[in-house]
Amino acid sequence: MSKAVAAQPTSTLSRLWHKWRFHINILLLLVPLGFMPKYFADASLFRGDSGLGERDIGTVQVGPWSLQLAELRNEAPRPDGPAGYMKSFNAALCDTCIDQVKAAYLRIGKPRSLRAAGVIFFGTPYRMGATLPIPERTKADAELWITLEGWDGSMHQAAIPLSQASPATIAWLAQRGAK
């Protein structure tokens, strides 16, 4: 009898734990459910089921070729340590130009030369990706330049306003400028 009394839990916390531990464990199993919508949205985005990216920019004509552009994420540029702020874009070449285009580049402002054409798109021509550094002093009326290099040595360029390519970036620049 006295032995049973000695084994009784002493603190309130300990008593609560012993009474509710199974229920608490079931609650822990429910926690991942809250992350499911984001998980499935991301899985669909990266698989390509929900289009090229979160926000379609449209088709851009570049000389004889064209490509479809999209923002991977409809959000402000993300910081990448000392390399600065980065913004990811996805692109798909038109069906007839896949065999002719060797490389696609993206840059803010007109490139000085083909060597300095900006960041290169990599991946399959049906879904290429590029991560573009956004200089903090970028002006709101800046242009996004697309350079396509052909296997025949030709080069074609086109530009679209950054405000059309990524309104979220323009909003981010305006907010930083106000600081």
Partner 1 sequence: MHPRLFKTPALAAALIALIGVCSQAQAHNPMCECKAIEDGQIRCTGGFSDGSGAPGVTLDVIGYDETILVPGKLGADSTLTFKRPDSEFYVLFDAGPGHIVEIDQADIEAP
Which residue ranges make up the site for partner 1 (CB under 8 A)? 14, 17, 80-84, 86, 103, 105, 112-113, 115-122, 130-131, 133
Query: Which one, 84 or 167, has the nearer CB to partner 1?
Result: 84
Cβ proximity to partner 1, 78 vs 167, nearer residue:
78
Q: Which is nearer to partner 1, 56 or 103 (CB)?
A: 103
- Enumerate the β-bridge partners of residue 133: 86
Residue 147 burial by CB count (10 A; 0-12/13-18/19+): exposed, middle or buried?
A: buried
Residue found by looking up tokens 């350079």 in the block? 147
Beta bridge partners of 109: none
The contacts of residue 111 (CB under 8 Å, 6+ apart) are 105, 117, 118, 145, 147, 157
Nearer to partner 1, 76 or 130 (CB): 130
Report the alpha-carbon distance of residue 30 to residue 76 in Å, rounded.
Answer: 31
* Nearest distance from C-beta of residue 179 to partner 1, angstroms: 20
Least separation in angstroms between residue 141's CB and partner 1 is: 19
Give the shortest CB-121-to-partner 1 separation in angstroms: 8
In this complex, which beta carbon is closest to partner 1, that of residue 114 or of residue 174?
114
Q: Name the minimum Å distance from CB 81 to partner 1.
A: 5
Residue 45 CB-density burial (10 A; 0-12 exposed, 13-18 middle, 19+ buried)? middle
Shortest Å distance, C-beta 140 to partner 1: 20
